[in-house]
């Protein structure tokens, strides 16, 4: 058995996520406290006691998911469960980088807080939307976008076979959704997002993030591998990681190919670490023969532990 860790991104959050883990395990509480001390904000209170509107603000969502994911990751390591290869969906790549010792916990907490602020505050004026296109090949989704008569819309997340998220101006997204249906899509669903994420429209946010990334130390750790969102290849010493992380904000996420790359490198068991089980679904649609666990609460943690220990 070869394990691979995957970490979710924005959109998986919900109020109260991880609360039972926090109540039961001292390691989890210490992780939240450490992050809260670094940022001088109560992340546990934000995650467990805020309302949906507050938690769904990008500046809050990203840090809340990161801290929950890393608290669970630390709990797994303490119980002898580790992986030498990992990936994440957009924001989730930061958790993978911490897991693999490419970036320190402290720096990740700081930079992800900034990333969320920039992605929230530097959305250009306009009405923006994202939508999931289900049951259509990549090329036809791309055609559905390029055939839009007016406005900006592009593929943003290549999630799994038959599911791609598109992003752009809302009217253009709605038109692309109709185009996709005409081309044979099973469904086209508008998503609950507030910005043109993973498109060139967030170039200012990307530039601001690059400035902050220059202030921290990031290095390749040869003992563990991280698969990049950008091209679904593992980071190497030739990569400019800071430049790549800045480009994430304006580039499509290649999650399906990232999963395929992990499988090509021998991974047969995936653990999704963090809120929800969206990535677990993507992985099973990509390859139904692999084993997939998700850990987001005490029950799923203990179940995974009992099977893998």
Catalytic residue positions? 90, 198
Cα angle 86, 274, 91 (rounded to 5 degrees) comes to 65
* CA diameter of the chain: 56
244 DSSP 8-state letter: H
SS3 for 293?
A: strand
HSE, CB side, 13 Å, CA atoms: give it for residue 169: 11
List of residues 6+ apart from 182 with CB closer than 8 A: none
Structure tokens at 129: 């939307």
Phi, psi of 56 (to 5 degrees): -80, -5
Cα angle 160, 161, 164 (rounded to 5 degrees) comes to 60
CA–CA separation, 215 and 189 (whole Å): 39
List of residues 6+ apart from 168 with CB closer than 8 A: 128, 129, 145, 151, 152, 153, 154, 176, 196, 199, 201
SS3 for 185?
A: coil
Query: Can you tell me which residue has the tokens 């899509």?
Result: 185
SS3 for 111?
A: helix
Across the strands, what pairs with 218? none
CA–CA separation, 101 and 34 (whole Å): 17
């Amino acid at each position: 058995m070869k394990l691979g860790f995957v970490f979710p991104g924005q959109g998986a959050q919900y109020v109260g996520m991880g609360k039972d883990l926090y109540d039961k395990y001292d390691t989890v509480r210490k992780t939240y406290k450490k992050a809260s001390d670094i940022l001088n904000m109560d992340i546990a209170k934000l995650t467990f006691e805020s309302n949906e509107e507050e938690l769904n603000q990008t500046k809050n969502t990203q840090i809340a998911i990161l801290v929950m994911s890393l608290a669970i990751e630390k709990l797994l390591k303490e119980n002898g469960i580790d992986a030498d290869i990992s990936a994440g969906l957009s924001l989730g790549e930061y958790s993978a980088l911490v897991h693999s010792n490419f970036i320190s916990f402290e720096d990740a907490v700081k930079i992800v807080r900034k990333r969320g602020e920039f992605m929230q505050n530097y959305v250009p004026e306009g009405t923006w939307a994202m939508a999931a296109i289900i049951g259509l090949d990549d090329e036809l989704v791309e055609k559905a976008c390029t055939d839009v008569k007016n406005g900006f819309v592009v593929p943003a997340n290549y999630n799994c076979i038959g599911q791609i998220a598109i992003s752009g101006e809302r009217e253009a997204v709605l038109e692309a959704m109709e185009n996709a249906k005409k081309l044979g899509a099973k469904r086209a669903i508008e998503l609950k997002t507030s910005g043109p994420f993973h498109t060139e429209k967030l170039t200012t946010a990307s530039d601001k993030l690059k400035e902050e990334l220059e202030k921290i130390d990031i290095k390749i750790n040869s003992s563990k591998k991280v698969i990049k969102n950008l091209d679904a290849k593992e980071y190497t010493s030739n990569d400019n990681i800071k430049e790549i992380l800045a480009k994430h904000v304006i580039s499509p996420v290649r999650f399906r190919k990232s999963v395929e790359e992990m499988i090509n490198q021998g991974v047969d068991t995936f653990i999704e670490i963090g809120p929800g089980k969206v990535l677990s679904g993507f992985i099973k649609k990509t390859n139904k023969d692999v084993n997939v666990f998700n850990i987001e609460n005490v029950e799923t943690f203990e179940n995974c532990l009992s099977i893998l220990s």
